[in-house]
Amino acid sequence: MTTSPTGRRFPAEFEWGAATASYQIEGAADEGGRGPSIWDTFSATPGKVVDGHSGKVAADHYHRTAQDVAMMKDLGLHAYRFSLAWPRIQPTGSGAFNPEGLDFYSRLIDDLLAAGIDPVVTMYHWDLPQALEDAGGWPVRDTALRFADYARKVVETYADRVTVWTTLNEPWCSAYLGYGSGVHAPGRTDGAEALAAVHHLNLAHGLAGRAVREALGDASTLSLTLNLHVARPDDPESPADLNAVRKIDALANRAFLNPVLDGYYPADLLEDTAAVTDWSFVEDGDLEITHTGLDVLGVNYYATQRVRTFTFDHERAMADGHGASAASPWIAADDVEFLAQPGPTTAMGWNIDPSGMTELLVGLSRTYPGLPLMITENGAAFADTVTPDGRVHDEERVRYLHDHVEAVGAAMDAGADVRGYFVWSLMDNFEWAYGYHRRFGIVRIDYDTLERTWKDSAYWYRELLRTSTVPPVEGASELA
């Protein structure tokens, strides 16, 4: 069956794709000369990942690339966004490169091109070589310098076939979840280290960006993917709540946008965090390096946040037995409270609010006119079930995707220059601290057999790509 084209029509040149990341799908953690990453170590540490899951096998993509690329072709993807595993290419993060690792991605790139699919490469999606963490990790400057060497190598190796280069995926997570709250690898909980990591990731982006531009010149499309936060005040009339929004915006958004697109760190961020660090890790000349500008900004969007300022009542907290608060990713923002929001949520507990997507894209295009935008991730985890017919009727995911794609269109109507959209994710995968307990894929992975099964959302997405028109939610199950 084909649906009647009643939905919004997208321009023919709009790039539709799907995204994944190395540690989340590849498996083969001990094969092909790959070195250990911080996620191997973290996963092997009791209590860090639910049920002790790890990326050791994951979706076994390493052994099934041909099958997976064929599936992408059947879906009609224009582009595939994937990440290179640094420890597969350079096992200890410095020194010798691993030819087997380089070849693995070379073959993947060739297969994609042969299938008519553009490779959109992310250099770093969180799998830092463990040896670099042992030497200090992202809080130390040397990690950014090592990243520059790695970046130069991969760009030189693949520049003949890859022009779209994303340096980092969601440095917010690497810095604040990895070194602030510690819920991600390497699991450290130190605010000053988290902020040093922010800067060294920005520096790493800048150094890698130079490598991309040197190798490709005008042919390069340099990108950085950020998970920008859409924080809204609980009470829009309350100066205190507006101040909470400002703090979150500084830590989550401007801490990355400003050094890269404007060449400075925001004064309010430096002020807010002054009791935690003096930012002396920012050396002379660093902000010229971070200030690369971008050919396209990658935007990952899932949900919004509602925040307010609250006054910490020490005595009440002690009486409630909450004297010792858990580490927070929000450094020097202890007075900001994140509130539950009304309405539906996904299996992550994230609220479903497509209007935040429109607001974010329109806001970015007003702040940075002329900057092309690309949705590099958007999608939802739900508790999928396989019905007796062997199918996955994931209507909630279809609705989520439908409403968010429409929200992208609404942003374009309002003038945002959005060039493409990548669904997260092509297939179910290792969802970090949740292990395999959260499923984001439009294709189901059976983790016992590693069989791939298209969910209704995959058929719906294929129809969208085939027609450039948003299909209705109803009838998605008949598109198979």
Which residue is catalytic, options 15, 26, 133, 377? 377
Q: How far is the CB of 449 from ligand IFM (least distance, A)?
A: 23
Smallest distance from ligand IFM to CB 441, Å: 10
**Nearer CB in complex with ligand IFM: 129/379:** 379
Contact flag: residue 424 with ligand IFM (CB under 6 A): yes
- The smaller minimum CB distance to ligand IFM, of residues 21 and 29, is found at 21
31 is catalytic: no
For residue 336, the cross-strand partners are 309
Q: Which is nearer to ligand IFM, 24 or 304 (CB)?
A: 24
Instruction: In whole angstroms, give the CA distance from residue 35 to residue 185.
Output: 16
CA-CA distance, 260 to 224, in Å (whole number)?
9
Least distance to ligand IFM from the beta carbon of 324, Å? 27
Round the CA-based radius of gyration of the chain to a whole number and report it.
Answer: 22
Helix then strand count (H, E) for the chain reads 18, 13
Binding status of residue 170 toward ligand IFM by CB under 6 A: yes
- The least distance separating ligand IFM from the CB of residue 171, rounded to whole angstroms, comes to 11
Interaction between residue 377 and ligand IFM (CB under 6 A): yes
Instruction: Find the shortest distance in angstroms from Cβ 72 to ligand IFM.
Output: 18
155 φ/ψ angles, rounded to the nearest 5 degrees? -65, -45
Helix, strand, or coil here: 472?
Answer: coil
Strand order in the sheet with 305-309: 231-233, 305-309, 336-339
Phi, psi of 424 (to 5 degrees): -105, 110
Length of the chain: 480
Q: Which of 100-104's residues contact partners 24+ apart within 8 Å by CB, and which partners?
A: 100/32, 100/33, 101/32, 101/33, 101/34, 102/154, 102/157, 104/32, 104/62, 104/65
108 makes contact with ligand IFM (CB under 6 A): no
* Residue 10 vs 172, nearer CB to ligand IFM: 172
Minimum CB separation of residue 347 from ligand IFM in Å reads 11
Instruction: Please state, in angstroms and rounded to a whole number, the distance separating the CA atoms of residues 65 and 71.
Output: 10
**Does 431 contact ligand IFM by CB under 6 A?**
yes
Cβ proximity to ligand IFM: between 170 and 353 the closer is 170
Q: Is residue 21 part of the contact set for ligand IFM (CB under 6 A)?
A: yes
Instruction: Count CB atoms within 10 A of the CB of residue 270.
Output: 16
Give 132 or 228: the residue with its C-beta nearer to ligand IFM. 228
Contacts of residue 86, Cβ cutoff 8 Å, sequence gap at least 6: 37, 93, 123, 124, 127, 128, 129, 147, 150
Q: Report phi then psi at 228, rounded to 5.
A: -70, 145
| Residue 436 DSSP one-character state | G
**Interface with ligand IFM, residue 299, by CB under 6 A:** no
Q: Does 159 bind ligand IFM (CB under 6 A)?
A: no
**DSSP of 22-71:** HHHH---TTSTTPPPBHHHHHHTSTTSSGGG--TTTTT-GGG-HHHHHHH
Q: Which of 43, 166, 220, 300 binds ligand IFM (CB under 6 A)?
A: 300
CB 44 within 8 A of CB 54: yes
Is 428 one of the binding residues for ligand IFM (CB under 6 A)?
Answer: no
| Residue 193 contacts ligand IFM per CB under 6 A | no
The question of whether 478 is a catalytic residue gets the answer no
Q: How many residues bind ligand IFM (CB under 6 A)?
A: 8
99 CB neighbour count, 10 Å cutoff: 12
Letters for 58-97 (x = contact with ligand IFM by CB under 6 A, - = none) are ----------------------------------------
Q: Rounded to an integer, what distance in angstroms lies between the CA atom of residue 182 and that of residue 167? A: 23
Contact map string, positions 337 to 376, toward ligand IFM, x by CB under 6 A: ----------------------------------------
Identity of the residue, 396 or 431, whose beta carbon is nearer to ligand IFM in the bound complex: 431
The least distance separating ligand IFM from the CB of residue 165, rounded to whole angstroms, comes to 18
* Shortest Å, Cβ 79 to ligand IFM: 17
Cis (ω within 30 of 0) for the bond into 54? no
423 part of the interface to ligand IFM, by CB under 6 A: no
Which of 170, 193, 359, 463 does the annotation list as catalytic?
A: 170
Please identify, using beta-carbon distances, which residue of 170 and 234 lies nearer to ligand IFM: 170
127 or 133, CB closer to ligand IFM?
Answer: 127
Residues with a catalytic annotation lie at 170, 377
- Interface residues with ligand IFM (CB under 6 A) are 21, 24, 170, 300, 377, 424, 431, 440
